[in-house]
Structure 1
């Protein structure tokens, strides 16, 4: 009778059976372990996003489940787990207490695996968004990191949908150690030793190989790659053997665009072709280093600033930045405004008992009291101030190429107008120079001139000091900058000229003949014939001729006003125009993250871990959900305990 009752109970309540109870217990244990791994994933994600170092001097072995702080620093990761325990995370505490030593999931190996899985998920998300965008562009730049690895940052520029509004995104998707890729043997290589001994050249073919391999590994569609943007180095830009040429062999639509920010820097550097300006910049740079690289000298400068300047002007002197032009102008302007305090500091230092400091202070003081130094500094300040808005626009995230080129035209026109009436503009410069010279007790006069000079400008020997400096300093510097600016930016205008006629403000005055070259270039990705495209353009132009609304001035603005269902051809070409990069600024911002991450105490970090940390910092909006990371981690290899959902 008892057996019958037991049978009946198990039949009516199957969850009381041994097998069912074992399965339930196993499921609970699986959920507990997933919760533990979720804590580890969240901790790693938070630390990576905030750029918090994870490792410690000794970070192996068990973590005390009591949460007590050990006598040695074993890293932020383990301390953050202790903080969770102290906050009452019983599940984590139980795991650290009961799990076997090879299933704790707190080792550096697990950290690397989890970080790499999260980075891979971000890369896959970006690749998916690029595929949905259709057309896209690639931005690349290189630098050497603290560990002396040649790093290449790759950025995808594409159009994405943000809650119904089309936007331009520039997303870093890879950080590649160039030489580690080039060291890999060719598939056809039979002698490994010979492959290892070959010279690793930074040629266009090799750099293109690095880019192509990365794009292939991440499954980016190069058939719809319509632009590539690099600096102007021969290995990148050469139309025969550069990276751009090799990439176009497999992606014919990928036209090369020189980084406009780099072009602006090159054009601006032409003002240094004038000796007075170059010498003033060199003196400024050396003087800033002298004043700021020693604690005692810095303290003396601060005291002089407090005595001579208002509180708002007591700012730290900046060194001349080699890459960011905006910072260069700020450095010159800040130095100019602090000249009285700098002179006072040098006067005091020149009487110090420290022979080296007093001698150099006296030398710099003599250089500052030269009228040529003040004029050269004032000319650099004036010209860099005019170019600063353009430099800022080129460094914006997702900068529009056509808008940037129009601002470049405006800047060049302003420089031309200044050249036409240089006497008036230079008179304002000389007013500033005279005021500062009076405050510094410096006489503004011409240098001593020889009747016949080979190595020094001496035009207008009978003129006044103002005329001499205008003719020999201001005009040559102005001419050098505006001429080079016109030459460099005209190349970008030619490349984007035809397709820019689709912008509403240009379409109203354009004809089909203006737009036809763009259709010919990109006809392989357009699903329409020439007659269809022409008719579509005619209607598009007529629409904006009749419209009283403001005409969009950027490609992405026009794209949001161009429904793909009505104007498919125009919409597709506007997408091409929208993704053409203006500069490589986003790749340079990635290098800034590398510099902040790969500090002196973290210089031994592996390439894979560095890439993962940088991508997590760069993409806060694309961070994968914790549960998805746990699922992917559980299915990515043999684990000591079961983590899957099934």
Structure 2
């Protein structure tokens, strides 16, 4: 299907240099996935795993490492589902302080959607901001509402009344905020792979700084203050269970934590280690290594493998070495974006002096870091192909999708000019029907 689409669009597959998909096995499979099948036809089509999808996977694995963080997020998700699914509870929650003019109205709650990006931090922040009002509304709902809604409200109230939930939400925010900032930066259409890899280094360094005893101590003290303020169940070490004899090895005693702070600090560090390790593992592949070699050729002027790189790509020739030396003496830049801006502002006559450098820059820029722009068109399909348009043909659907994707350009079109041209091209009978527009 991909080859057929390329042929119809008159795009030769011989010039294909990059491909980007999500993490589905039928797309990125090493041996029989789509990217592997495309490489059999065009080996130069380097595969890049979508950076936004990777960040979403890393976030999911990091927050689900240990129960006290995972359970807290699950409780917030259930609270958001109750808020969205029950109109009675929503009305009760929003009008909780109507009789008290000094207290402001609570803000709306949000569930944590597992398939959407950039939804965890906002949902957690909203829950923490309204934590004083949520238990009161849940207690009132469990006492007044019917069996189903009342039992759900009572169960959520029991979970949120534990101090462990507050600590889990506060401990998850540093990880979520860092990874969602990375995710947001990778969703733009102009993001390149070089910028993505630099952003990953920055986020990894920030996560390593946040993984400290001082940071967790601040979070733990803030959780204790919040627990005392809201009169929640205090943090404590759970009862230690005796290990079965079949699992005991040697005479040494099993490690146990003496305080609740020590126990949760270990889990907090492990969550950060999981995030850092997965970031490093996901953003390392053979194709990314080749891309970095190609990038180093432009940024550094030379690499240990420059002859093999030049021979691999048919559009590059040996004159690239001379052009690179000449170009870098007059136009130094430390980033790929810097070189792009230099070529964009360069005079055409000067630009024609560096054709090989321009081709090298195009090879680096053609690799997309994410496929968010393409997926947004898929999301728009549900809004366009609705039940009121059930008889829409494929041809018309394609035309409507093109109009939707390029709505900015379509908004600049003069509709009166199009209508007048339509009338002038028609027969006299149609002119009599439409007249003057």
TM over 0.5: yes
1:371 paired with 2:163, answer yes
Change (3 A) 1:434 1:602: farther
How far apart are residue 521 of structure 1 and its match?
A: 3.3
> 2:344 matched to which residue of 1?
560
2:273 to 463, 479, 485: 479
Q: Tell me, what secondary structure is at the counterpart of 1:525?
A: coil
- Contact 2:189/2:373, CA 8 A, preserved across alignment: yes
Match of 2:206 among 414, 421, 425: 414
Equivalent residue for 1:588?
Answer: 375
Alpha-carbon distance change, 274 to 555 in structure 1, aligned in 2, over 3 angstroms: farther
The equivalent of 2:23 in structure 1 is 232
**Considering only aligned residues, what root-mean-square deviation do their CA atoms show, in Å?**
3.3
Distance change in 2, residues 1:258/1:502 (3 Å): same
Please report how far the alpha carbon of residue 641 of structure 1 lies from its aligned counterpart in structure 2 after TM superposition: 7.9
Give matches, 1:397-546, under 5 Å: 397-419=189-211, 422-452=212-242, 461-471=256-266, 473-491=267-285, 493-502=288-297, 506-507=299-300, 510-513=301-304, 515-522=306-313, 524-526=314-316, 529-530=317-318, 532-544=319-331
SS at match of 1:513: coil
| Contact kept? 1:555, 1:575, Cα under 8 Å | no
Larger Rg: 1
* CA drift at 1:435: 2.8
Between Structure 1 and Structure 2, the one with more strand by share is 1
Q: Is the 8 A contact 1:634 1:642 kept in 2?
A: no
Alpha-carbon distance in structure 2 between the residues aligned to 1:640 and 1:404: 59
Alpha-carbon distance change, 554 to 372 in structure 1, aligned in 2, over 3 angstroms: farther
Query: CA 1:241 to 1:552, structure 2 compared with 1: closer, same or farther past 3 Å?
Result: closer
Q: Secondary structure at the match of 2:110?
A: coil
Residue 140 of structure 2 is aligned to residue 345 of structure 1: no
Unaligned runs of 5+ in 1: 1-209
Mapped pair 1:217 → 2:8: yes
- When the two structures are superposed, what TM-score results if normalisation uses the length of structure 2? 0.84
Does the CA-based 8 Å contact 2:55-2:180 persist in structure 1?
A: no
More off after superposition, 229-238 vs 214-223? 214-223
Unaligned runs of 5+ in 2: 248-253, 432-437
Alignment correspondent of 2:385: 598
**What is the aligned counterpart of 2:48 among 243, 257, 270?**
257
Distance 2:420 2:44 in 1: 40
Looking at structure 1, the residues matched to 189 and 30 of structure 2 have their Cα atoms a distance apart, in angstroms, of 28
Question: SS state of the match for residue 463, structure 1?
Answer: coil
How many angstroms does 1:326 deviate by? 1.4
Aligned counterparts, 1:18-417, within 5 A: 210-271=1-62, 272-304=64-96, 314-417=106-209
Q: Could you say if the C-alpha distance between residues 297 and 248 of structure 1 is closer, same or farther in structure 2, counting changes exceeding 3 Å?
A: same
Deviations 1:110-153 (A, max 9, x none): xxxxxxxxxxxxxxxxxxxxxxxxxxxxxxxxxxxxxxxxxxxx
Q: Within the alignment, does 1:620 sit opposite 2:407 as a pair?
A: yes
Tell me: CA distance 1:625–1:481, structure 2 relative to 1, closer, same or farther (3 Å): same
Q: Are the structure 2 counterparts of residues 448 and 552 from structure 1 closer, same or farther at C-alpha, using a change threshold of 3 Å? A: closer
Tell me, in whole angstroms, the C-alpha distance in 2 between the residues paired with 1:294 and 1:301. 11
Count of residue correspondences = 415
Shift, 1:214, TM fit: 1.6
Given that 2:423 and 2:430 are in contact with CA atoms closer than 8 Å, whether structure 1 keeps it comes out as no
Deviation at 1:213, TM superposition (A): 1.4
TM-score by length of 1: 0.58
Contact 2:237/2:263, CA 8 A, preserved across alignment: no
Q: Deviations over 1:527-565 (max 9, x none)?
A: xx32x11111222233345x8xx8664563354256541
Structure 2 equivalent of residue 610 of structure 1? 397
**Taking structure 1 as reference, are residues 445 and 234 closer, same or farther at Cα in structure 2, changes over 3 Å only?**
same
Residues 367 and 373 in structure 1, CA contact (< 8 A), matched pair in contact too? yes
Distance 1:476 1:633, change over 3 A: farther
In 2, the alpha carbon distance for the partners of 1:485 and 1:260 equals: 10
Measured at CA, do residues 432 and 406 of structure 1 come closer, stay the same or move farther in structure 2, by a change above 3 Å? Answer: same
How far does residue 642 in structure 1 lie from its aligned partner after superposition? 9.7
1-structure distance, mates of 2:118, 2:243 = 36
Q: Hey, what's the Cα distance between the residues in 2 that align with 1:214 and 1:329? A: 39
Asked whether the equivalents of residues 93 and 134 of structure 2 are also in contact (C-alpha less than 8 Å), the reply is: yes
Q: Is the 8 A contact 1:590 1:618 kept in 2?
A: yes
| Cα distance change, pair 622–444 in 1 and its aligned pair in 2 (3 A) | same
Alpha carbons of structure 1 residues 613 and 308: separation in structure 2 relative to 1, 3 Å? farther
Structure 1 Cα separation of the partners of residues 292 and 139 of structure 2 = 57
